[in-house]
Amino acid sequence: MDTPRYTPLIESLPADVPFVGPEELERRLGAPFAARLGANESLFGPSPRALEAIRAEAADVWKYGDPDCHDLRAALADHMGVAVGNVLVGEGIDGLLGNLVRLLIAPGDAVVTSAGAYPTFNYHVTGFGGALHKVPYRDDHEDLPALIETARAVDAKLVYLSNPDNPMGTWRRGAEIEAALDTLPEGCLLCLDEAYMEFAPDGTAAGIAAEDPRVIRMRTFSKAYGMAGARVGYAIGAAALIKSFDRIRNHFGVTRMAQAGAQAALLDTDWLAHVQTEVGVARAEITRIPRENGLHAVPSATNFVAVDCGREGDFARDVLTALQGQGVFVRMPGVAPLDRCIRVSAGPAEDTEAFARALPGALATARETADARD
């Protein structure tokens, strides 16, 4: 008998990891990236007040963080117009998704998502033995009616939708989601990932009652608030669902610096407005630059733009590789037909310019490779 003895589920899981981090790519390339535009981080940085709060809180790093995240939850409840009992703080949306899946999904349970949507959600579903059903995008949008129809057909316990969407950057009006909720089958929870909501136009957020048992919404300090490295996100849902996470979560998992920083970030509405403005500027540039290169950019309500390279996935992969070789870190969707695109994050002018400088050469390289392949 071997030691240790893994569970049969663990034995069945793939050994590969969901993402190779940019640091590892840099180590492989032997040089740091000049423009880090692949992870949809906020290159505009955190609020100076958040930074100050993190640094001040570090003096108390010898103390465990408050497992209740009491003060941050109170601030978030106020921010979202819900009760404290409707708010859960966790180790980023990744951590929250993992725990949500664990609460609902036993081996064989059905889960619905879009083909090409957030891989880490799929990673968690697979990790708990769930049966993933994937619905194709329609015109670069997650196909909400088809997601719900599939959920009904497979008796799904959980359906995932991001709004605005990652990796395409598209979005739906909140009213559409509100209406769709009434068609959600009984016993199916909608996980609404709103990681990019702060970048979306008015009317994108669905108006959902805090105690609506059909939905859990997730938001994060990793994107608009510029705190990806602090690992802090939050979920809004019915109090009973929120409370159920207490049965399984890593209670002391959110660091003191994350809690203090997030609270300060939330109050600095001027900084958020500044980031929103800058992202708008960068988004326009990342739409214009591809056009000058004969490419099309998918309209985006996020801090990134999916740039349609106009050919098959292998071509876009070659463009991506060539860009990375020139120090411009971008990512791309993993499945067709979305993988005709590369995904470029918004950043200050110098980062966008690095992309603009590298793109023509990357396209030329990819075209040569494609010609050789044909």
In the complex, minimum distance from the CB of residue 333 to a second copy, in angstroms, rounded to a whole number: 19
* Closer of 77 and 227 to a second copy (Cβ): 227
In the complex, minimum distance from the CB of residue 259 to a second copy, in angstroms, rounded to a whole number: 9
- Using CA atoms in the order 268, 270, 271, 275, what is the torsion angle rounded to 10 degrees? 140
* Closer of 161 and 295 to a second copy (Cβ): 161
* Closer of 44 and 315 to a second copy (Cβ): 44
* Closer of 2 and 374 to a second copy (Cβ): 2
* Closer of 126 and 326 to a second copy (Cβ): 126
In the complex, minimum distance from the CB of residue 148 to a second copy, in angstroms, rounded to a whole number: 14
In the complex, minimum distance from the CB of residue 352 to a second copy, in angstroms, rounded to a whole number: 16
* Closer of 59 and 372 to a second copy (Cβ): 59
User: Tokens 């790519």 belong to which residue?
Assistant: 25
Strand, helix or coil for residue 186:
coil
Partners of 306 in the β-ladder:
343
At 114, phi and psi to the nearest 5?
-95, 145
Distance CA 282, CA 361 (A): 21
In the complex, minimum distance from the CB of residue 136 to a second copy, in angstroms, rounded to a whole number: 26
Of 344, 223, 324, 334, residue with least CA distance to 275: 223
Residues 227, 46 contacting (CB under 8 angstroms): yes
Residues 124, 254 contacting (CB under 8 angstroms): no
Cβ density class 18-32: b for 16+ within 10 Å, e for less = eeeebeeebeeeeee
Of 312, 355, 316, 365, residue with least CA distance to 337: 312
* Radius of gyration for the alpha carbons in the chain, expressed in angstroms and rounded: 21
* Closer of 10 and 336 to a second copy (Cβ): 10
* Closer of 78 and 368 to a second copy (Cβ): 78
In the complex, minimum distance from the CB of residue 253 to a second copy, in angstroms, rounded to a whole number: 5
In the complex, minimum distance from the CB of residue 263 to a second copy, in angstroms, rounded to a whole number: 14
* Closer of 157 and 172 to a second copy (Cβ): 157
In the complex, minimum distance from the CB of residue 92 to a second copy, in angstroms, rounded to a whole number: 7
In the complex, minimum distance from the CB of residue 81 to a second copy, in angstroms, rounded to a whole number: 22
Strand, helix or coil for residue 17:
coil
Strand, helix or coil for residue 68:
coil
Strand, helix or coil for residue 112:
strand
Query: What's the full length of the chain, in residues?
Result: 374
Sign of CA dihedral 49, 55, 57, 59: negative
Distance CA 106, CA 128 (A): 6
* Closer of 227 and 298 to a second copy (Cβ): 227
In the complex, minimum distance from the CB of residue 309 to a second copy, in angstroms, rounded to a whole number: 25
Tell me the three-class secondary structure of 306-370, residue by residue. EEECCCCHHHHHHHHHHHHHCCEECECCCCCCHHHEEEEECCCHHHHHHHHHHHHHHHHHHHHHH
